[in-house]
Each structure stands twice: as structure tokens, then as C-alpha cells.
Amino acid sequence: MNYTKLGNTDITISRICMGCMGFGNARTGQHSWTLDEESSRGIIRYALEKGINFFDTAIAYQEGTSEMYLGRALRDFARRDQVVVATKFLPRSQEEIEAGVSGKEHLKNSLQASLSHLGMDYVDLYIYHMWDWNTPVEEYLEALDEEVKAGKIRAVGIANCFAWQLAEANALAEKNGWTPFVSVQNHYNLIMREEEREMKVYCDEHGISMTPYSALAAGRLSRRPGQTSKRLEEDAYAKFKYDKTAEQDGIIIRRVEEIADKRGVPMTQISLAWLLTKVTAPVCGATKVHHVDDMAAAVDLKLTEEEIAYLEEAYVPHALSGVMAQNTPASRLTQHVWNKNGAYAEKEH
């Protein structure tokens, strides 16, 4: 495993981040395909053995059970100072808004709940899960800075935002002497490359780490056409994000398959090796031990310039989907994707 720094911090992270959305009680929350605690522990333990020290979860994942599973496993299998744990907070709920709960109060309550779930005194990276159009970003920035100074957070990140939102937030942080965002976790992979228009340029210029989610497009970039899995069959949110562009994306997926066959490696390794040329540490989920092996192997796999160009040339612009499709002022009046009952939006806004 190779390692790097998280943004401009002194926090050392593995080039692969273990995404924990697939861990949690399948009877609760948004997903029906997640792993139970015993299976999750096996994956987490093996990831540690392969040198992965960076783990990403969220309070929204399976109603907090993802955080619980991760926290208990890390307490049993690793020293706290040897791992980097990231979790996320959601926007204020409509109920909180109506009750007069401020953004600062909401964040502090969310952080305390996550720390309780994890069984930890601090998180290494606390991430603003999606833009909250009902709450001034200053409220969150000030609260994050207070929690950093209190020792409950080491660094702060943001997810599902536009480059202008990140730039505006960090300008406000600089103006007020608050802790800036050092990482961004957005939707980025071989069949969703809209981050290259502005976000990647901005992050490269300012030393901000990109740690994208959906690195394998919910398994589409790791399986041959026709192959399936429980997640591919049951993940309605992923279908919502990818099914509309399946025909065009299929051209790229077949090219991944072609290069994988020539190299004699799984498709996962090709897809991640490409993404690793663009970002700091992709967030990758795993439901089987061999998935971890492929993640780790991708770090050492170097694609040629010709292979990279071949993978990239078939891409066409994509409409934003999922959380980013809801990142508009209109979301003030709608439920966001990760609402409290775990449902996803039926249409884009």
C-alpha cells in the first residue's frame, strides 16, 4: 500500500479509502444489500492487514449502524492512532428547522451522536455530507472550527458540492480564521467525469484532496456485461444514477474489460488504476475479501498513456444525478436523497 497526506494536513492516509456504506443493519436505512456485523468485521480486519488505514462512514448509513460496526471493529483490530476515520453530518431536517434548531446546534448534536456510535473521542475527518440550502454555511464553518479546537475533529471535508461552493466556503473560512475544508468527496469515476470541468482544477490548484465516492459505479466498472450481484439487482439509488446512461457507459465498460483481459487482471484494478491517476484516494466499498485484494493491487498497477486515452475517449457529458442533481436552491422545499427514512428522490430537480 502507498500513502499520502490528506490535503495540506499532516494526516497520513492510504491511497485507498475503505468505504463503509455497505456495512450496517440491512433491516434499517436505505439499503437492503448491506453486510451484517460479523461479515463487516472480516472485511475491515482484512483491509487493515492490506495496509488500508483510511475508513469512511456516515451517520446516514443504515441509521448509524455502519458507524457502530466500524467503531467496534477498529477498537478490536487497530490502535486508534493508526487509523484515519471519516464520517459525515447531514443537513438540518425540516423538523429541526421548524423547532428552531440552529445549524451549529445540529452539527454539534450530529457529531456527538457519531462519536457515540463509533465509540471514539474524536474523528480524523468530519465531512459536510451535502450542501444545506436552508442553513448559512457560516454556521457550519464556525461550529466545525469550534469542534476542531475542542479536539473532537482533526480536519474537515465536504461532499456533494460544486467548486464554487467549496471556494466560497473556504474564502469565508480564511476571512474569519476558521478551519478550511481540506478534502472533497464527490461522484467521480470512469463513467461520471463531470468533476474534471471545475472541481479537479480547483482542488489541484489549492492542494485539496479528492476522495471520490462511487469509484466503481456501484459495481458497473468491476463486472463484465451480463454479470450481476445482489447490489446491482437491489440498489435502487444506483439504478437511479446510472440506468439512464447505460448504453453509452457500456462502451467504456467494454474497454475496461478489454484492457483487463490484455493485462490478465480483474476489471476493478483497471478502473481504480485509472482513477488513482486523477485523485488522492478513491472511496471503495467491499462486500467480499477479494474486493480488498483488487483495491490494494490497483495502487501498484500503472496504466500506459495509450490505455488511459483509450479509456477516456468514449466519454460524453453526463447530466448530474443523485445528490448532486438536488444541489439547487429548489432543494429548500424538497426532501434530499438521504432523508431520515432512507428513501431516495424519485426524480431529478
| Residues noted as catalytic | 61
Residue whose C-alpha is closest to residue 218's, from 271, 145, 158, 279: 271
With b meaning 16 or more CB within 10 Å and e meaning fewer, what string describes 173-201?
beeeebbbbbbbbbbbbbbbbbbeeebbe
Which residues does 45 contact at the CB level (< 8 Å), separation at least 6?
A: 73, 77
Question: Max alpha carbon distance in the chain (Å)?
Answer: 60
What nine digits make up the cell of 56? 469512511
Q: How many CA atoms does the CB half-sphere of 34 hold within 13 Å?
A: 25
Backbone angles phi, psi at 189, to 5 degrees: -165, -175
Q: Is 87 in contact with 67 (CB distance < 8 Å)?
A: yes
> Cβ neighbours of residue 124 under 8 Å, at least 6 residues apart?
11, 83, 84, 85, 86, 154, 155
Reduced to 3 states, what is the DSSP secondary structure of residue 124? strand
Q: Within 13 A of 223's CA, how many CA atoms are on the CB side?
A: 13
